[in-house]
């Protein structure tokens, strides 16, 4: 039973990564560029079995205006999932509330954006 559970988790993770990669590629190829401002940073702390901190990740949210004038707050795709030439440390250091960034989005899915 344990092996089935592990297999299911692995399949779900792989499918999720494939969907993210496809969506990011679609945005890169067909997305609309816009200027955005980082409006919120959420810190996600992971702990191990004894409660010690094992990792800290950040989720960044930006606000931008679409071509039709709608203001949207969207999650900025993680740098680890993108084909960009910026290290994770640089990604985190450059992004903080109030940072200005250039993004791309798809008009039919404006709540998920990539940094360009």
Q: What is the pLDDT of residues 89-105, one digit of tens each?
A: 565 667 889 999 999 99
Q: What is the pLDDT of residues 16-52, one digit of tens each?
A: 566 667 777 788 888 999 999 999 988 877 777 887 7
- By CB atoms closer than 10 A (0-12, 13-18, 19+), residue 105 is buried
Residue 35: per-residue pLDDT: 96
**Is residue 113 a contact partner of residue 36, using CB atoms and an 8 Å limit?**
yes
- CA–CA gap between residue 71 and residue 84 (Å, rounded): 26
- CA–CA gap between residue 91 and residue 104 (Å, rounded): 17
Residue 83: per-residue pLDDT: 43
Q: What is the pLDDT of residues 45-93, one digit of tens each?
A: 777 788 777 777 778 899 999 999 999 999 987 644 444 445 555 656 6
Question: Taking 80 as the threshold, does the pLDDT of residue 1 lie above it?
Answer: no
Question: Which one, of 14, 26, 17, lies nearest residue 112 by Cα?
Answer: 26
Residue 88: per-residue pLDDT: 59
Domain of 68 in residue numbering reads as 2-115
Q: How many domains does the chain have?
A: 1
Report the SS3 class of residue 48: coil
- CA–CA gap between residue 12 and residue 4 (Å, rounded): 12
């Amino acid at each position: 039973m344990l092996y089935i559970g592990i297999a299911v988790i692995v399949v779900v993770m792989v499918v999720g990564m494939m969907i993210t990669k496809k969506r990011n590629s679609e945005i890169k190829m067909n997305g609309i560029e816009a200027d955005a401002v980082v409006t919120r940073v959420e810190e996600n702390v992971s702990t191990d079995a004894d409660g010690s901190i094992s990792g800290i990740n950040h989720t960044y949210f930006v606000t931008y205006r679409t071509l039709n004038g709608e203001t949207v707050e969207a999650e900025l795709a993680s740098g680890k999932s993108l084909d960009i030439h910026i290290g994770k440390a640089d990604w985190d250091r450059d992004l903080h509330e109030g940072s200005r960034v250039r993004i791309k989005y798809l008009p039919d899915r404006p709540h998920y954006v990539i940094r360009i």
